[in-house]
Structure formats: structure tokens, C-alpha cells
Chain A
């Protein structure tokens, strides 16, 4: 009786299912921890405490979530139009690189510099993404192949750009720091002044938040998420793109230019991932560094998009979840001394379960039947 009601409660909607998936994910993750010889309560306690116990931690979760939301949007947008954008990683790198260049080389007032920086980065990344779309439309090269290749091209292009004099700061492996006027972080200079340090010391909560590199990136991310939702659901362009996604042959028969749609869609997806890179530079790092490995913003974006059901608002929620797990998950290490490998397995398991509410649904139905 009780279990019947419970099932009804959870089966009612996708949210209930997601919750079940999350709980299942944590349970299986906990089993992994037990097998590896660690106390799962202690570990999950560390995640909870490390995510919510201080305002600074919450600020960090937001900072971690911001780029993931946007790369998630990028992948989601392409996915809705039937394209698998594995290239968000490379588009992120291109966006970051162009933002770092424009942020350093231009000298403009802040109200012009910030939007221009973002716009240039998005345009460059849109070209990068659009290139993969064009190759597909013109020569039929699958976008998975071309975007993977373009990821590496972007990776090495970015590293090479740092060897250029006038952009790479000699002897550091990093670019020059962008101008103050291109930054979107709040109070960064004031924080390290005498008054700032005094303020941080005397204000327990506000001061704590300020220790994190708080910035305006999240606002842009949410605006972009709304924009994606609007374009997809309320415009002719969105209708056409989605139609191509459902069935390109039918769309073509219906008079939609499929080839152009592919290029448009990949360009928009690229621009979104590029915005993620640009805001990361403008709000957090203020420069780009020589990459030793792919940093994974774009690849995480694929998971974010899938968890978020390829929608704008979904990507925002999934981005926060992912950002929280990424930031909070790493806290297990110091708290219980588990090696990173185990933590990665646990977090991976949790994400795997979250990403497949369909399976949970099938399981529940199966049991019922």
C-alpha cells in the first residue's frame, strides 16, 4: 500500500524520477566507497559541508557552475537540432583565447570593453563551431569527427598564441593579464586593499563570500539560457532548427534549408561555448595559460546537457548540480583521505545514474508489471 503510493509519487513527473536517480546514484556511489574502505556518510557529509556550510562555498559552486551551464547550453542547442557538438571544448578554448586577446590589447571604457570582449569571443567561437557545421553541410563530414579534430586544433592554436610576443608574457607560459576594464568580477582590487582585508576580517559572512572570485558570469549564463529557450521555442528559426533535428528529410521536403540550418545551429552552439570561455577569462582567470591537458569544460557540458534534458532551463539546473558535485566532490579527498581515483569513480557513478532517469522509469514499471 505504502509502496504503491510512493511509486505513484515518484512516477508522476520527470522531477520525481530525477530525484530517485540522484538517490540511487548516491547509494551506489556509497557502495563503491564502502568497497574502497571509506565511510560513505563521512564522505557525503564532507560534500554537504563543503558545499553549503559557508557562503564562500556556495559562491564557489556558482563559479564552477557558470561555464558548465554555458557549455551545456551549447551542446543542448546542437542536440536539439540533431547535431552532436563534441566541439564545445575547442569552442570554449577559442572563446577564452579571443577574450584574453581583446581584454589585453584594447583600451576602452568598461561599459564598452566588457560587451565587446564577450561579443568578439562569441563571434570567433561561432566561426569555429560554424566551420564544423559547414564541413558537414558541404562535404558530409560527420560533426563528431570534425569537432574532435577542431578541439585539438583549438588546443594547439591557443598554446601557440602564447608564444607570440605581445600576447604571451615571456617566461610564464601565460598570457598578459587583461585590462581592469574587461573584467566582470566584483571588488577584485578592493578585496586586497587594506580596507578590503579589514572588511573581510570583520564581516563573517560577506567577507567570506568575497574570498571567492565572485563575478557577473552567472547572470550572463542565465540570460543566455533564457535566450536559448526563446530561440528554440518561440522563433521561426528555432522551429526550423528543431524540425531538422526531428527529421532532416521531412524538414527539407517541407522547404527548410537543411544545410543552412546545420551551419546556423553549429555557429550558435559555438558562440555559447565561446561565451563560457570568455566569461571564465573575464571573471575568474583574467588570462589564459598554456594548456597541458584539455580542461574538460566542453566535455562536462555534454553531461550537463544530457542531464538537463537538452533544454535551456534544464542546463541551468544541471549545471548547478554538476558544479556542486565537482566542487563539493573534491572535498572528500581532504576529509576522509580517499584517493582522487575513488572520488572520480563515485562522482562518475552518481552522474551516470542521474543521467539515466529513463532506466529508473523502466525498472519501476517493470517491477509494477
Chain B
């Protein structure tokens, strides 16, 4: 009897092990590790995955992802994808900066890339960075908010006060003040990227204080921001993706950060044998790495859109340098 069990178990094991292992076929293969937001965060992790899905469809790339549940998952997840044999492995989000670096150090033959972070002079040759000028689309939506507010009060809801979120914050504020210096900007951080209920509470509070447009840069918290705007029939401004679909009558516009484009274009480059390791690729208005949502024209009158277009031209030409930090903002306001 025992022998039979042992035999069965051994057989089962062999079958199991035989089945396992991802088949990495010909063509380029790209994997990504999400940060703790997860792949369905309605925000930049999801956008990144959509970029890879596009690469799968259009380039025939083999793609895969791994979600992280906690900080300590980053390094092992990167190692796992390294073992799976992907040509290029992405770390999504600056939270993974250290993990990508340390993994790249012990695997010098493997190509890595990271979103929203770079190492300056110390960037390893096998790491490519994709950084975005989030302040530019934030400036544009801020300008729209400043022009469209009737109460002269607008709001900003941030996720957690990280430098990358501050780029949204100060770009937005500069845009608002550019449109109308008298508009007051209420600002609050939710200290979370996932707590939609908190986003709703903060936004409701802002609307009660008289704000009529609220912009968020807060991942999943933003769902609550948009919900609050919908309930009180005011405006919300989305982020990262075109979020108009979440509340078609209440999302005025969205500050788009095309993480998907970054992942797709790097996959396409790799397909052609190109890989720009060791430095940062900057995505901004000029290369359409950021922008405002295509649905903006639904609610924003054409004359304001025309002003926005001229602002875009000025930013591209370098006539306006949008502030990305508090210090930049303060000197921007002095001018």
C-alpha cells in the first residue's frame, strides 16, 4: 500500500515538474514587476501593463507580470522574472529603485528598466530609466481648472507626499495661478494610494468648502475623488489615464502620463536590437509621453482649448518651464 502511494506521489511530482516553466519563444520578451499598487490600480501599474499588452498584440512580444504585495517582494520578484528568461524586465515605480539596482548588480547580463526613477551618474549600463515630466500635463489641467472655476476655489488631492506626486501638485498650482491668480488651491494628501473612501471624504470636504474642481494624483484614492464629484455634481480631474469613462459627466479632463507608451516604445526598440541603458529617457509633451485627455473637448469650451494649445506650444519651445518642486514653484510665482 505504502509503495503504491509513494509511486503515485513520485509520478505526480514528475508530471507537475514537467509541466512547469514558462516557454519563452522567439521574438522579444518583456516582463514587469508591479509595485504594491497591483496591476489593476486604474493608474500607472495598469497603464504599464496595457503598454505591454499592446506590445503583445502589435509586436508579438511575450509578456508577463508579477505583482508585489510588500516592499520585500520587489527583489525576489525581479529575480523570478530574471530566471524566467525575459529579455527586458521592468520595475514599475520609483519604490523599486533600490531593488532594480541591486538585482541588476548581481545580474550584469540582464537588461532592466524602471519607471519614475533614475540613478544619475551611477546608472548601471544594464538599466534604462523612463522618467516623466508630470508637471507639464498637471500645469495644463491646472490652467483649465483655473479658467473654468466659478467659485475661485479648486482642490488637489495627493496620494502620499513623494517627490513624483509633488510634480503633479506644483505643476497644477502653477497652471491654476497662470489662468487666474485669484483662485485659491485647497491641497490635501490622503497618505494612501488605495483608500478610495478617504479620497471621497477629503473631496467632499473640499467641495463643501466651496471648491468646484478637484484634481487628484492619488492612484486608487482617486476613485473616491471622482465619486464625490459625481455625487455633488462638480468637476473632478483624472490622472495617468483618460479617466472620463469613470464619470463621463463629471470628469473634466485628465492629466495623462503615458507609462504605456514608454513600455511599448522600449519593447519596440528592443525588437530592433536597440536598448538605451545607463541613462534616463525623458517623456514629456514633445514626445507625447504626457498630455491631456482626448475627451477634454467634451466639457471644455473651444476658446480655452485654444489657449491650452498655445501653452503646449510654449512649453515645447521652452518658453514656459513648468515648476516641478516647491522651490521652483516659488520662483515661478515671483515672475
* Chain A interface (Cβ < 8 Å from any Cβ of B): 2, 5-6, 39, 41-42, 44-46, 48-50, 53-54, 56, 60, 63-64, 156, 159, 163, 171-174, 191-192, 197, 200, 210-213, 280, 284-285, 289-290, 292-293, 295-297, 327, 330-331, 333-335, 337, 339-340
Contact flag A171-B163 (CB < 8 Å), given A50-B80, A293-B192: yes
Asked whether B70 lies within 8 Å of A296 as measured between CB atoms, the reply is yes
What residues of B have a CB within 8 angstroms of the CB of A284 in the complex? Answer: 72
1/0 per residue B61-101: CB within 8 Å of A?
A: 00011110111110111011101100000000011011000
By DSSP majority rule, is chain A's interface helix, strand, loop, or mixed? helix
Verify B84–A334 contact, CB threshold 8 A. Answer: yes
Q: Which residue of A lies closest to B109 (CB)?
A: A201
Chain B residues within 8 Å of A289, by CB: 71, 95
What are the residues of chain B within 8 A of A200 when measuring CB–CB? Answer: 106
Q: Which residues of A contact B65 (CB under 8 A)?
A: 333-334
User: Is B201 in the interface zone, CB < 8 Å from A?
Assistant: no
Interchain CB contact under 8 A, B20 and A49: yes
B139 within 8 A of A: no
A204 to B16, CA, bound (A): 24
Which residue of B64, B71, B77, B193 is within 8 Å of A330 (Cβ)?
A: B77
Q: In the complex, which residues of chain A have a beta carbon less than 8 angstroms from the beta carbon of B95? A: 173, 289
Chain A nearest CB, measured from B330 CB (Å): 17
CB distance from A209 to the nearest CB of B (A): 11
Question: Is there contact, CB below 8 Å, between A156 and B191?
Answer: yes
- The answer to whether B39 has its CB under 8 Å from any CB of chain A is yes
Chain A residues near B43 (CB-CB < 8 A): none
CB contact under 8 A between A44 and B64, given known A192-B105, A335-B21: no
A292 with B20: CB separation less than 8 A: no
Give B residues with C-beta under 8 Å from A: 1, 13, 15-22, 31, 36-39, 64-67, 69-73, 75-77, 79-81, 83-84, 94-95, 97-98, 102, 105-108, 159-163, 191-194
Nearest first, the 3 closest Cβ-Cβ pairs linking A and B are A45-B16, A45-B20, A295-B70
Indicate whether A280 sits within 8 Å of B1 (C-beta atoms), given known contacts A211-B79, A334-B81: no
Complex CA gap A339/B65 in Å reads: 9
Please indicate the chain A residues that have their CB under 8 angstroms from the CB of B73 in the complex: 330
A210 to B107, CA, bound (A): 11
Would B72 and A285 count as touching, CB distance under 8 A? yes
Contact among B67, B84, B106 for A191, CB-based, below 8 A: B106
Alpha-carbon distance between A211 and B110 when the two chains are bound, in angstroms: 14
Do the beta carbons of A173 and B106 come within 8 Å of each other?
A: no
Tell which of B22, B37, B39 touches A292, judged by Cβ atoms closer than 8 Å.
B37
Known: A191-B105, A295-B69. 12 other contacts (CB 8 A): A45-B19, A48-B16, A49-B17, A171-B163, A173-B95, A212-B76, A285-B71, A295-B72, A330-B67, A334-B65, A340-B38, A340-B39
Q: Which of A41, A285, A290 is close to B160, meaning CB atoms less than 8 Å apart?
A: A290
Q: Is A41 a contact of B19 with CB atoms below 8 Å?
A: yes
Cα separation A192 to B81 with both chains bound (whole Å):
20
CB atoms of A197 and B31 under 8 A apart = no
Instruction: Please indicate which of the listed interface residues B19, B21, B194 has the most CB atoms of chain A within 10 Å of its own CB.
Output: B19
- Decide: A49 near B193, CB < 8 A? Known: A331-B80, A334-B81: no
- Inter-chain CA distance A237–B22, complex, in Å, is 54
| Chain A residues within 8 Å of B84, by CB | 334
Q: Considering the chains assembled together, what is the distance between the CA atoms of A53 and B84 in angstroms?
A: 13
Contact yes or no, B20 A46, CB < 8 A: yes
